[in-house]
Amino acid sequence: MKSFFKKTIWTSLICFNFFQIEMVRAIVPYYYFPTIKNLQKQSLYIGKNAYQLLYFGQYEDSLNLAKLAVKINAKDEKLWLILAEAQIVNKEYKNALNSLNKAEQINSNNSEIYFAKSNIYLKISQQTKAKNALEKGIKIEPNNHKAIFQLGNILLMEKNYLGAIELFDKSIKIKPDFWQAINNQGLAYFEKNKVDLAIKLFRSAISIEENAEPLLGLASCMNIQNNKLAIQLAKKALGKDPKYVNYDYRKEQLWGEKLQTSTEILLQNKQLKKDVILAKSKISKSS
At residue 99, does pLDDT exceed 60?
yes
Average pLDDT over residues 96-105: 98
At residue 172, does pLDDT exceed 90?
yes
How many CB atoms within 10 Å of residue 50? 25
Q: What is the CA radius of gyration of the chain?
A: 31
pLDDT at 42: 84
Domain 177-287 superfamily per CATH: Tetratricopeptide repeat domain (1.25.40.10)
pLDDT at 43: 86
At residue 137, does pLDDT exceed 80?
yes
pLDDT, tens only, 147-169? 999 999 999 999 999 999 999 99
**Entry pTM:** 0.84
User: Can you tell me the distance from the alpha carbon of 230 to that of 217, in angstroms, rounded to the nearest whole number?
Assistant: 10
Average pLDDT over residues 179-201: 98
Average pLDDT over residues 209-238: 97
Q: Does an H or E element contain 161, and which?
A: helix 161-174
**pLDDT above 90 as % of the chain:** 81
